[in-house]
A and B are shown apart, each in its own frame.
Chain A
Amino acid sequence: MQGLCVRGLNKSFGGLTVALDIDFDLPPGARKALIGPNGAGKSTFANLVTGILAPSSGTITFDGQDIGHLREAARVRRGIAKTFQITTLFRSMTVRENLRLPILQRDGRATGLWRRSDSDRGVEEEVTALLEQFRLAPLGDLPVSQLAYGQQRLVEMALTLALRPRVLILDEPAAGVPSSESPLIIEAIERLPQDLAVLIIEHDMDLVFRIARQIVVLVAGRILTEGSPAEISRDPKVRELYLGGAHV
Chain B
Amino acid sequence: MTESLTLPLPERLARVPFLAEALLLAIAAAMFFLLPYSLGFLTRVLILMVLVLSIDLLLGFAGIATLGQAAMYGAGAYAAGLFAIHVWADPLAGLVVGAAAGAALALLSGLVLMRAQGLTLIMLTIAVAQICMEIANKARGVTGGSDGLRGIRMDPVLGLFEFDFIGQTGYWYALAVLAAVFLLLRLVTRSAFGLSLRGIHDSPARMTAIGTPVYGRRVAAYALAGAIAGIAGALTAQVTQLVSPEVFAFTLSAEALIMLVLGGTGRLIGGIIGVAIFMTVHHTAAAHDPFNWLFVIGAMVLGVVFFVPGGLVSLPARLRGLMGRAL
Contact = CB atoms under 8 A, between A and B. Distances in A.
Interface of A: 50, 72-74, 76-77, 81-82, 84, 88-93, 97, 100-102, 104-106, 109-117, 159-160, 163
Nearest to A51: B208
Contact of A73 (B202, B203, B212): B212
B19 interface: no
B210 A84 contact: no
A113 B227 CA distance: 15
Contacts of B188: 113-114
A104 B209 contact: no
A76 B196 CA distance: 16
A72 B208 CA distance: 7
A88 B208 CA distance: 12
Nearest to A120: B192
Nearest to A109: B192
Interface in B155-205: 187-188, 190-196, 198-199, 201-203, 205
B211 A90 contact: no
Contacts of B210: 76, 81, 101-102, 105-106, 159-160, 163
11 contacts: A90-B206, A91-B202, A92-B198, A104-B196, A110-B193, A111-B196, A111-B220, A112-B191, A113-B191, A117-B190, A163-B211
Contacts of B205: 84, 88
Contact of A84 (B209, B213, B217): B209
A29 B220 CA distance: 39
Contacts of B203: 88-91
Contacts of B212: 73, 105, 110
Would you call the interface of chain B mostly helix, strand, loop, or mixed? Answer: helix
- 8 smallest beta-carbon distances between A and B, as pairs: A76-B211, A90-B202, A112-B192, A102-B210, A117-B195, A110-B196, A77-B211, A117-B192
Given A105-B212, A163-B210, A163-B211, A90 B198 contact: yes
A102 B207 CA distance: 8
Contacts of A88: 203, 205-206, 209
B18 to A, nearest CB: 15
Contacts, number: 94
B214 interface: yes
Contact of B211 (A106, A112, A115, A116): A106
A124 B206 CA distance: 21
Given A73-B213, A159-B210, 15 more contacts: A84-B206, A89-B203, A90-B199, A101-B195, A101-B199, A104-B196, A105-B210, A105-B211, A105-B212, A109-B192, A111-B217, A112-B193, A115-B191, A159-B206, A160-B210
A117 B211 contact: no
A8 B77 CA distance: 59
A102 B208 CA distance: 10
Given A76-B211, A93-B202, A104 B195 contact: yes
Contacts of A77: 211
A113 B193 CA distance: 6
Contacts of A110: 192-193, 195-196, 212
A91 B203 CA distance: 8
A105 B201 contact: no
A147 B249 CA distance: 45
